[in-house]
């Protein structure tokens, strides 16, 4: 099959690049090894201190509302984190004072939401907190398999019975100005969130749970749907296993499922993620990039890959594929002419592009622009 | 080999990062609280089962083997294979007669076909259904696939010479369904391939791919079929022929399940087994042409069967259908229809089966297509029974849309 | 007797201390055990968990070999829920001298250890992971034993016999009256509270730290610490213990333990200052993998979960002029006879395998001092949890159709699993999904087994010991601990400590899937949860 651009890696970077290209009339395919890191998305794009119109537009068109409110958001362990560009699930505040009294609501038997930590964290900020656990008869079915009381599973039920939840909370609510709820609402349709917010006479703060992330799953789903609606070909559950490269130009990519049916394209984007997503592979001797064998910036000695303190910055997390100024991948020090790199596989080799979600957005747009520019030339 | 260069484990279970993504995509987990879920049943449980088979949990039988956990896994863990392999290896409970009967599609076909009208009438009777439900726990609400009086194999026998006349040849692994229930699909394939200048022949003698036997833990019988089929496939492949299929499940079984679950080496033939939609798409991509009817119009909603999703070849059926002028194409959200071969026929699974399929059925009703396209026969039964919409294999739609000299 | 007065105080919550407390308590003594950290934090929890048949010592140390096989048979009876009687192989590889096999078998038989020479082909069938190049194999009654569970069960039994336990409590000094030890000054390391306890006899069971405890009492016990490094692989590669049939050396034992297998060990002398912070070096990791792969080649491609090291408490017999030590392994010092210090006994040396015998010897010494004439019953009385035999039987007795988690609980708790039987469905939710540990089991460990931190919980339940090394279970269990102790701030620090402790064992082998997991854990805790 032949496309204008083949994108390897279907996470945030791959989808944003794919959508941008499709919109510009560039036909693309995305190869995605299963689902991706959006499933662990916190809801805020890290290191996005600005809100480029094209990003908010792109998400809006996909049915995802972003808001840009520089400030802090409440984290699941009761701490606060600086954030700006976020999904509508996320409430942002100018400072870590979000109200006077909070009602923290969770579900009986749900262990992936940390009421006590939230309460202690908020009390440190001078807030009074009360914790209530809902016992909803509609959850009886899930409760029979208590280990599978996970966010997504709960959200499937909640999206049907959110009105009952609102009613219960209205009964529980005394003089609290804030209600804190786990992010177990709006798996397919975020409008549930605003309806809950309207239904409760207090500000509602949806706060993160252990993965999977409900806002993340929804974002992935909507971006993928939008991409396919624009005519993109999303190959889910397939893996790029190799490539045909001649004279510094990538001709085609080989995938596990398609075997000898190669995916040909004029340009390629590599957005396969870092270690978790297997964009980078490591063994005791080296860190490598498995599809093209690209140059990976790294310390040669394994003992330099780590900081013995877990919570400190880990050197290995900064390693990534080396690129030239226009994000073309380097192999043996030379750029591959039509292979662009985006997302966390860059590590922190391009600090000007930020980290996390910010890196994914900036590099994906830059890669798409580079491709559209070369095509225009 | 350098030590620790790679990690290798059976069905990659050690690559599981415990990320829980699979649990979000398991259709069974959404409807059946007795099922421990793919993560627990698969990689988590595997470590305990390796310690002691005692840790095997009988609730693994609720797994559909739809492979959606595998398709969604970011780590490449063969979750469903782990579960099916564990069932085969550790579940020592006797196999029910009902399961044997459902799994022996070949045998049942042989028995029923000569008396097809009677068999169809009987299986369609309320009293038979009640009896089957009572005796075998085959759910009485199920509609049975109809048997065809004349098998596809015998039809092919009658057209052998005419097919041999084509300079270019392919082989066709038709599967039980085409032979016993729906020869029309096989004839449609022959029509399309002939239009491309390709003649069709059968394997020397194919047997049921064995998928239902695997899912019902009949490893010995499944392995017997697998060994036979690999031998038959080898003979064909040695002649330089590709082997085409029209059933995504048969294809997945022949290509993936033989080595992964039965330990039958198919490396010599695997790459030569191909869904017909892929073969035809590749032909057209390389410049071959089909003559489409000028006035053709169909509103088609394409359902990607679970095993097509796992093969990663839905894209070929989709692109092929999109090539048909006058065809209004919608792709349905990829979701399991709930039947999973023999799974949905069992009384204990009926409710779950229908609940799993409901979102798909609802979407079909909303789109209201002329016909649903899909590459799997059991999905066809399930969707037709549950929605009333007729379901056609993309090959049949293609056959309907082209003009041939005979038409 | 007042609340702070005891017949005997035991210092050290390792297996020796716990075993000694149990024995003393069963003989009717009023006991107190003091441990500065948690149970099994020293050498007890930092070894292979090998249920030695004694075969390893048969050639060079027949006395230890005889002790081992005797205790091996006893532990199978009294600690069935801690023991996995797998059997073991001593294999000869092409590079090994096959003639050693006969020497080995003869020595085993002399020590009373059944040692059956089997055909290499049979060995491959019995243990498919074994190096197929093997030239010889001997089958012996090795097995594996869970040291944490064993330690907890001994301590629990001591408590059931009236014993008291103070964890997180350090001995700051001894209460001396002339030439007699009357008791100890202690400080609780969590609350800072100081407390004196009195007893007629104090037993020093501090393992390698017994050196310091003796010094605090003014006597010298000459010990030298030897570090041993080990690797945990992520699943059970072997189901029989695999040893090399040669003179004992580095990395020549592969033990299947619960859901994992462990290769070890190395042996390096280290200075005393390093005992509290032993780290595994890259060279040790390389050696363990290389040697391990010789015994079971698949280890070269099996995910490694952790690297860890323990310190063996070896005693130099030169410093024991009295010559009263019973064997070269076990050393029991009556400091009255040895140093003229009354009311103080040191029990040391030995090994996990012989803890019960050490406890018996120490308790005999205590009883002699107290003029008590009661015989030891620890060799015949099952530990709590081991009364009912196999976990299969236990699980089926408690639950009609046990789930995987209930089976796992029965395997860990033995017959004590009845403690979590009646809990409601929601309490069956898994806290640790890798090791199948439920809410009920975690709460039981908090309520009944003195677990106050996540690391304590890990030792008692295996949370955080599985493939993901605490990714999900750590914060879930932290939620339960926070609720139980009603101290969230402390739990926050505990969670950070736990993650750090897990990382300590991960980064020395931080590549491949382990590094992927580490990246994911970083992501979950830093970016998703925000700790």
DSSP result, C333-390: EEHHHHHS-BTEEEEEE--GGGHHHHHHHHHHHHHHHHT------TTTSPPTT-TT--
Cβ of C524 within 8 Å of Cβ of A210? The answer is: yes
CA distance B102 to B118: 19
Domain boundary among B220, B249, B282: B282
Q: C85: Cβ–Cβ under 8 A, 6 or more apart, which residues?
A: C51, C76, C141, C143
* Interface-testing mutation among A43, A72, A116, with chain C (most C C-beta atoms within 10 A): A116
Phi and psi of C140, rounded to 5°? -130, 160
Closest by CA position to B383, among listed B365, B397, B399: B365
Q: What is the mean pLDDT of chain C?
A: 93
C241-293 per-position pLDDT tens digit: 999 999 989 999 999 999 999 998 998 989 988 988 899 999 999 999 999 99
DSSP result, B142-163: PPPPPPPSS-HHHHHHHTHHHH
The widest CA-to-CA distance across chain B, in whole angstroms, is 66
Same domain, B114 and B196: no
Same domain, B193 and B170: yes
Q: Is residue B103 part of a domain?
A: yes
Cβ of B18 within 8 Å of Cβ of C468? The answer is: yes
Cβ of B14 within 8 Å of Cβ of C467? The answer is: yes
Can you give the CATH number for the domain in which B303 is found?
3.40.50.10700
Q: Which structural domain range is residue B32 located in?
A: 10-90
Cβ of C500 within 8 Å of Cβ of A311? The answer is: yes
Cβ of A145 within 8 Å of Cβ of B285? The answer is: no
Using the Cβ of C483 and the Cβ atoms of chain A, whether some distance falls under 8 Å is answered with yes
**Residue range C236-242: average pLDDT?**
97
pLDDT at residue C186 tops 80: yes
Instruction: Flag the least confident range among A294-298, C87-91, C310-314.
Output: C310-314
DSSP A311: T
* Interface-testing mutation among B33, B68, B80, B316, with chain A (most A C-beta atoms within 10 A): B33
Written as tens digits, the pLDDT of chain A (377 aa) is: 999 999 999 999 999 999 999 999 999 999 999 999 999 999 999 999 999 999 999 999 999 999 999 999 999 999 999 999 999 999 999 999 999 999 999 999 999 999 999 999 999 999 999 999 999 998 888 888 888 899 999 999 999 999 999 999 999 999 999 999 999 999 999 999 999 999 999 999 999 999 999 999 999 999 999 999 999 999 999 999 999 999 999 999 999 999 999 999 999 999 999 999 999 999 999 999 999 999 999 999 999 999 999 999 999 999 999 999 999 999 999 999 999 999 999 999 999 999 999 999 999 999 999 999 987 76
Of the two residues C19 and C329, the one the predictor is more confident about is: C19
Q: Which of B134-148, C167-181, C319-333 has the highest mean pLDDT?
A: C167-181
- Predicted pLDDT of residue C518: 96
- Predicted pLDDT of residue B405: 64
**Shortest distance, CA A243 to any CA of chain C (angstroms):** 22
Query: How many Cβ atoms sit within 10 Å of the Cβ of residue B347?
Result: 17
CA distance B364 to A232: 22
Closest by CA position to A238, among listed B76, B8, B27: B76
Here the ipTM equals 0.96
CA distance A351 to B13: 35
Which residues from chain A sit within 8 angstroms of residue C518, using beta carbons? 314
Out of C301, C471, C520, the one facing B7 most closely (by C-beta) is: C301
Q: Is residue B60 part of a domain?
A: yes
Query: What chains are in contact with B, requiring at least 3 Cβ pairs below 8 Å?
Result: A, C
Out of B3, B14, B75, the one facing C290 most closely (by C-beta) is: B3
Contacting A residues, span 262-281, partner chain B, CB-CB under 8 Å: 276-278
Cβ of A114 within 8 Å of Cβ of C527? The answer is: no
What's the start-to-end Cα distance of chain C, in Å? 48
CATH 3.50.50.60 describes domain C5-43+148-222+316-370: yes
CA distance B297 to B293: 9
**Shortest distance, CA C472 to any CA of chain A (angstroms):** 7
Same domain, B254 and B314: no
* Interface-testing mutation among A232, A261, A278, with chain B (most B C-beta atoms within 10 A): A261
H/E/C letters for each residue in A249-302?
A: EEEEEEECCCCCCCEEEEEEEECCCCCCCCCCEECCCCEECCCCCCCEECCCCH
* Interface-testing mutation among B13, B33, B37, B54, with chain C (most C C-beta atoms within 10 A): B54
* C-beta separation of C72 from C143 below 8 A: yes
- Predicted pLDDT of residue A124: 94
Question: Among the residues of C178-256, which ranges form H helices?
Answer: 210-216
- Band (C317; pLDDT cuts 50, 70, 90): low
Contacting C residues, span 219-238, partner chain B, CB-CB under 8 Å: 234-236
10 Å CB burial of residue C9 (0-12, 13-18, 19+) is buried
- How many domains are contained in chain B? 4
Using the Cβ of A150 and the Cβ atoms of chain B, whether some distance falls under 8 Å is answered with yes
> By CA distance, what is B76's nearest residue in C?
C513
Written as tens digits, the pLDDT of chain B (407 aa) is: 578 988 889 999 999 999 999 999 999 999 998 999 999 999 999 999 999 999 999 999 999 999 999 999 999 999 999 999 999 999 999 998 888 888 887 777 777 777 777 777 777 777 777 777 777 788 888 877 888 878 899 999 999 999 999 999 999 999 999 999 999 999 999 999 999 999 999 999 999 999 999 999 999 999 999 999 999 999 999 999 999 999 999 999 999 999 999 999 999 999 999 999 999 999 999 999 999 999 999 999 999 999 999 999 999 999 999 999 999 999 999 999 998 888 888 888 899 999 999 999 999 999 999 999 999 999 999 999 999 999 999 999 999 999 976 54
Using the Cβ of A312 and the Cβ atoms of chain B, whether some distance falls under 8 Å is answered with no
Using the Cβ of A39 and the Cβ atoms of chain B, whether some distance falls under 8 Å is answered with yes
Using the Cβ of C527 and the Cβ atoms of chain A, whether some distance falls under 8 Å is answered with yes
Contacting C residues, span 255-274, partner chain B, CB-CB under 8 Å: 256, 258-259
Which residues from chain B sit within 8 angstroms of residue A142, using beta carbons? 33
Domain with residues A2-41+218-376, CATH architecture: 3-Layer(bba) Sandwich (3.50)
Cβ of B71 within 8 Å of Cβ of A284? The answer is: no
Out of C235, C433, C512, the one facing B39 most closely (by C-beta) is: C433
Residue spans per domain, chain A: 2-41+218-376, 66-210
* C-beta separation of C411 from C390 below 8 A: no
Query: How many Cβ atoms sit within 10 Å of the Cβ of residue C166?
Result: 18
**Shortest distance, CA B103 to any CA of chain A (angstroms):** 28
Cβ-Cβ contacts under 8 Å between A and B: the total is 108
- Band (C325; pLDDT cuts 50, 70, 90): very low
DSSP result, B53-88: GGG--GGGGG-----HHHHH-TT---HHHHHHHHHH
Out of C259, C290, C513, the one facing B7 most closely (by C-beta) is: C513
Cβ of C516 within 8 Å of Cβ of B75? The answer is: yes
- Predicted pLDDT of residue C441: 94
Residue spans per domain, chain C: 5-43+148-222+316-370, 51-145+224-311, 423-529
Out of A120, A283, A356, the one facing C489 most closely (by C-beta) is: A120
**Shortest distance, CA B161 to any CA of chain C (angstroms):** 53
> By CA distance, what is A42's nearest residue in C?
C528
* C-beta separation of B296 from B238 below 8 A: no
Q: Give the torsion sign (CA, C469, C472, C474, C480).
A: negative
* Separation in Å, CA A344 to CA A8, A12, A278, A296, A341: 13, 10, 11, 13, 9
* Separation in Å, CA A178 to CA A270, B53, B315, C296: 43, 51, 48, 59
* C-beta separation of B375 from B175 below 8 A: no
CA distance C204 to C214: 7
Cβ of A317 within 8 Å of Cβ of C439? The answer is: no
Question: Among the residues of A73-138, which ranges form H helices?
Answer: 115-124
**Shortest distance, CA C503 to any CA of chain A (angstroms):** 6
Can you give the CATH number for the domain in which B224 is found?
1.20.1050
> By CA distance, what is C402's nearest residue in B?
B57
Phi and psi of C136, rounded to 5°? -160, 160
For chain C, helix (H) and strand (E) counts, in that order, are 16, 22
> By CA distance, what is A187's nearest residue in B?
B24
**Shortest distance, CA C352 to any CA of chain B (angstroms):** 23
* Interface-testing mutation among A275, A280, A299, with chain C (most C C-beta atoms within 10 A): A275
Which residues from chain A sit within 8 angstroms of residue C491, using beta carbons? 117
Domain boundary among B282, B304, B331: B282
Which residues from chain B sit within 8 angstroms of residue C411, using beta carbons? 52
Which residues from chain B sit within 8 angstroms of residue A184, using beta carbons? none
Query: What chains are in contact with C, requiring at least 3 Cβ pairs below 8 Å?
Result: A, B
C384-437 per-position pLDDT tens digit: 999 988 899 999 999 888 888 899 999 999 999 998 876 678 888 999 999 999
CA distance B251 to B257: 9
The string over C63-82, giving b where at least 16 C-beta atoms fall within 10 Å of a residue's C-beta and e elsewhere, is ebbbbbbbbbeebbebbbbb
pLDDT at residue C320 tops 50: no
Out of C286, C425, C488, the one facing A117 most closely (by C-beta) is: C488
Q: What is the mean pLDDT of chain A?
A: 96
Cβ of A1 within 8 Å of Cβ of B315? The answer is: yes
pLDDT at residue C61 tops 70: yes
| C51-145+224-311 CATH pick, 3.30.9.10, 3.40.50.720, 3.30.70.260, 3.40.720.10 | 3.30.9.10
Q: B341: Cβ–Cβ under 8 A, 6 or more apart, which residues?
A: B65, B211, B212, B215, B249, B378
């Amino acid at each position: 099959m032949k496309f204008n651009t083949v994108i390897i890696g279907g996470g945030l970077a791959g989808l944003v690049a794919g959508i941008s290209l499709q919109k510009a009339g560039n036909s693309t395919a995305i190869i995605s090894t299963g689902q991706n890191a959006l499933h662990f998305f916190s809801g805020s794009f890290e290191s996005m201190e600005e809100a480029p119109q094209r990003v908010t537009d792109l998400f809006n068109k996909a049915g995802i509302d972003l808001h840009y409110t520089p400030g802090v958001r409440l984290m699941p362990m009761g701490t606060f984190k600086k954030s700006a560009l976020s999904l509508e699930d996320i409430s942002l505040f100018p400072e870590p004072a979000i109200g006077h009294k909070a009602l923290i609501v969770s579900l009986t038997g749900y262990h992936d939401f940390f009421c006590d930590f939230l309460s202690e964290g908020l009390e440190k900020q001078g807030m009074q907190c009360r914790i209530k656990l809902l016992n909803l008869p509609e959850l009886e079915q899930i409760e029979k398999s208590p280990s599978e009381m996970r966010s997504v599973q709960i959200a499937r039920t909640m999206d049907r019975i959110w009105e009952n939840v609102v009613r219960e909370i209205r009964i529980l609510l005394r003089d609290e100005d804030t209600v804190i709820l786990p992010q177990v609402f709006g798996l397919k349709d975020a409008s549930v969130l605003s309806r809950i917010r309207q239904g409760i006479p207090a500000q509602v703060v949806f706060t993160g749970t252990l993965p999977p992330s409900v806002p993340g799953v929804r974002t992935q789903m909507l971006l993928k749907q939008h991409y396919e609606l624009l005519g993109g070909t999303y190959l889910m559950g397939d893996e790029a296993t190799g490539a045909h490269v001649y004279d510094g130009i990538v001709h085609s990519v080989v995938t596990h499922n398609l075997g000898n049916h190669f995916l040909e394209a004029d340009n390629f984007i590599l957005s396969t993620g870092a270690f978790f997503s297997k964009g980078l592979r490591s063994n005791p001797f080296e860190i490598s990039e498995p599809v093209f064998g690209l140059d990976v910036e790294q310390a040669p000695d394994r003992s330099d890959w780590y900081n013995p303190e877990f919570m400190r910055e880990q050197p290995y997390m900064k390693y990534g594929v080396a690129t030239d100024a226009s994000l073309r991948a380097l192999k043996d020090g030379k750029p591959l002419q039509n292979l662009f790199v985006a997302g966390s596989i860059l590590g922190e080799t391009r600090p000007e592009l930020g980290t996390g979600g910010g890196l994914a957005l900036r590099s994906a747009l830059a890669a798409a622009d580079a491709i559209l520019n070369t095509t225009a030339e | 080999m350098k030590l620790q260069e790679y990690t290798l484990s059976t069905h990659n279970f050690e690559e599981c990062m415990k990320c829980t993504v699979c649990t979000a995509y398991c259709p069974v987990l959404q409807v059946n609280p007795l099922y421990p879920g793919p993560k627990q049943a698969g990689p988590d449980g595997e470590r305990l089962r390796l310690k002691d088979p005692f840790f095997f949990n009988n609730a693994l039988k609720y797994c559909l083997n739809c492979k959606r956990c595998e398709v969604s896994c970011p780590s490449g863990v063969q979750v469903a294979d782990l579960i099916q392999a564990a069932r085969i290896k550790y579940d020592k409970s006797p196999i029910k007669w009902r399961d044997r009967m459902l799994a022996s599609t070949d045998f049942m076909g042989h028995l029923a076909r000569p008396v097809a009208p009677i068999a169809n009438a009987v299986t369609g009777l309320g009293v038979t259904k009640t009896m089957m439900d009572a005796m075998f726990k085959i759910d009485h609400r199920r509609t049975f696939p109809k048997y065809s009086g004349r098998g596809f194999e015998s039809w092919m026998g009658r057209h052998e010479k005419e097919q041999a006349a084509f300079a270019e040849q392919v082989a066709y692994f038709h599967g039980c369904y085409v032979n016993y229930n729906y020869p029309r699909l096989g004839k449609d394939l022959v029509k399309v391939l002939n239009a491309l200048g390709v003649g069709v022949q059968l394997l020397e003698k194919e047997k049921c791919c064995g998928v239902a036997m695997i899912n019902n833990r009949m490893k010995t019988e499944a392995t017997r079929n697998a060994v036979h089929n690999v031998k038959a496939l080898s003979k064909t492949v040695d002649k330089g022929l590709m082997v085409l299929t029209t059933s995504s499940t048969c294809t997945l079984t022949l290509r993936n399940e033989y080595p992964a679950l039965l330990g039958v080496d198919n490396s010599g033939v695997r790459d030569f087994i191909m869904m017909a939609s892929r073969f035809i798409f590749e032909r057209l991509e390389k410049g071959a042409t089909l003559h489409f009817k000028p006035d053709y119009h169909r509103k088609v909603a394409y359902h990607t069967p679970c095993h097509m999703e796992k093969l990663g070849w839905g894209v070929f059926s989709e692109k092929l259908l999109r090539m048909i002028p006058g065809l209004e194409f919608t792709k349905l959200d990829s979701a399991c229809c709930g039947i999973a071969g023999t799974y949905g026929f069992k009384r204990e699974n009926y409710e779950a089966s229908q609940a799993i399929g409901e979102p798909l059925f609802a979407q079909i009703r909303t789109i209201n297509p002329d016909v649903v396209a899909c590459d799997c026969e059991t999905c066809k039964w399930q969707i037709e029974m549950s929605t009333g919409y007729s379901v056609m294999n993309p090959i049949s739609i293609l056959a309907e849309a082209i003009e041939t000299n005979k038409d | 007797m007042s609340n702070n007065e005891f017949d005997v105080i035991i210092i050290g919550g390792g297996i020796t201390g716990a075993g000694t407390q149990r024995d003393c308590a069963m003989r009717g003594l009023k006991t107190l055990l003091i441990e500065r950290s948690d149970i099994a934090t020293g050498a007890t929890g930092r070894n292979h968990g090998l249920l030695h048949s004694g075969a390893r010592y048969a050639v060079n140390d027949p006395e230890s070999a005889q002790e081992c096989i005797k205790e091996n048979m006893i532990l199978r009876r009294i600690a069935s829920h801690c023991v996995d009687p797998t059997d073991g192989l001593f294999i000869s590889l092409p590079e090994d001298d096959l003639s050693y096999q006969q020497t080995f078998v003869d020595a085993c038989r002399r020590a009373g250890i059944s040692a059956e020479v089997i055909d290499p082909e049979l060995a491959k069938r019995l243990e498919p992971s074994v190096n197929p190049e093997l030239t010889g194999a001997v089958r012996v009654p090795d097995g594996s034993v869970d040291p944490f569970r064993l330690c907890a069960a001994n301590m629990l039994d001591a408590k059931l016999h009236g014993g008291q336990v103070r964890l997180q409590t350090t001995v700051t000094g001894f209460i001396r009256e002339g030439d007699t030890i009357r008791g100890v000054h202690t400080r609780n390391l969590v609350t800072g509270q100081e407390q004196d306890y009195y007893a007629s006899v104090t037993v020093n069971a501090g393992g390698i730290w017994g050196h310091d405890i003796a010094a605090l009492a003014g006597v010298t016990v000459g010990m030298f610490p030897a570090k041993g490094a080990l690797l945990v692989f992520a699943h059970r590669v072997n189901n029989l213990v695999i040893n090399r049939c040669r003179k004992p050396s580095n990395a020549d034992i592969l033990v299947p333990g619960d859901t994992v297998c462990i290769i070890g060990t190395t042996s390096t002398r280290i200075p005393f200052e390093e005992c509290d912070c032993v780290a595994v070096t890259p060279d040790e990791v390389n050696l363990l993998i290389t040697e391990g792969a010789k015994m079971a080649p698949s280890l070269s491609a099996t995910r490694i979960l952790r690297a860890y090291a323990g310190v063996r408490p070896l005693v130099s017999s030169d410093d024991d002029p009295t010559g009263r030590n019973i064997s070269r392994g076990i050393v029991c010092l009556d400091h009255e006879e040895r140093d003229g210090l009354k009311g103080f006994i040191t029990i040391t040396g030995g090994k996990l395998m012989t803890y019960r015998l050490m406890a018996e010897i120490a308790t005999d010494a205590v009883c002699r001092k107290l003029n008590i004439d009661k015989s030891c019953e620890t060799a015949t009385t099952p530990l709590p949890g081991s009364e009912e035999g196999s976990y299969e039987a236990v699980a089926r007795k408690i639950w009609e159709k046990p789930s995987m988690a209930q089976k796992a609980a029965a395997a860990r708790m033995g017959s004590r699993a009845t403690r979590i039987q009646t809990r409601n469905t929601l309490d069956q939710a898994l806290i640790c999904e890798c090791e199948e540990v439920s809410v009920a089991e975690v709460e039981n460990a908090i309520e009944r087994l003195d677990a106050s931190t996540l690391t304590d919980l890990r030792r008692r339940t295996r949370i955080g010991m599985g493939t993901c090394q605490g990714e999900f279970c750590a914060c879930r269990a932290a939620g339960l601990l926070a609720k139980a102790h009603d101290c969230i701030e402390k739990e926050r620090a505990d969670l950070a400590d736990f993650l750090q402790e897990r990382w300590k064992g991960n980064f020395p082998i931080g590549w491949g899937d382990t590094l992927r997991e580490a990246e994911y854990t970083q992501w979950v805790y830093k970016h998703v949860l925000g700790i």
